[in-house]
Amino acid sequence: MKKNFEDYFSEMQADMVGICLEYVEKRAERVFIYCSFEENVVFSNFFFKVNEHVVKKNELNNVIRQGDKLYDISLDRQKTTISIINDNIKQINMLCNENDREMPTQVKLIYDVRSNSVQAEYKYELMHSREESKSANDIFEEWFIQESIT
């Protein structure tokens, strides 16, 4: 059976989830992945829900339970994970171009480990490029804060 656009698109998103699960050693309840692609600028970041706490990738060891193994949150590991996600975003852009599809400017993925399900939100309009005072990282931070208080 030949793969179609949606199959390839889903595979790349699954790869993003997979690399983040690897980063957190599959010890998360949820994985949150933010991707931005505006005016050929790629940005991504990710965070987790672990032990009922929403934390950034560099804060994982702040919420471990007594006796749990520490996470490897080294800068090198963070950069490698971001690089892989960014490569996936670039591949999605190429896939969209090859299939005459619109490239999302923003993707938010939430992977629920317990239910093994992904919730995805896509935007196609410019989210930050038109505003000098807002960056892709600002939008990521707003999402992190929103998820932290819910």
The confidence score (pLDDT) of residue 32 equals 98
For 139, phi then psi, to 5°, come to -65, -40
pLDDT above 80 (res 1): no
The confidence score (pLDDT) of residue 58 equals 98
* Domains, in order of start, for the chain: 5-149 (3.30.500.20)
Average pLDDT, the chain: 96
The confidence score (pLDDT) of residue 150 equals 80
pLDDT above 90 (res 103): yes
Q: For 37-65, how does the pLDDT look when each residue is reduced to its tens digit (9 = 90+)?
A: 999 999 999 999 999 999 999 999 999 99
Q: For 75-97, how does the pLDDT look when each residue is reduced to its tens digit (9 = 90+)?
A: 999 999 999 999 999 999 999 99
Identify how many contiguous H helices and E strands the chain contains and give both numbers. 3, 5
> Is pTM, for the whole model, over 0.85?
yes
Q: For 135-150, how does the pLDDT look when each residue is reduced to its tens digit (9 = 90+)?
A: 999 999 999 999 999 8
The confidence score (pLDDT) of residue 31 equals 98
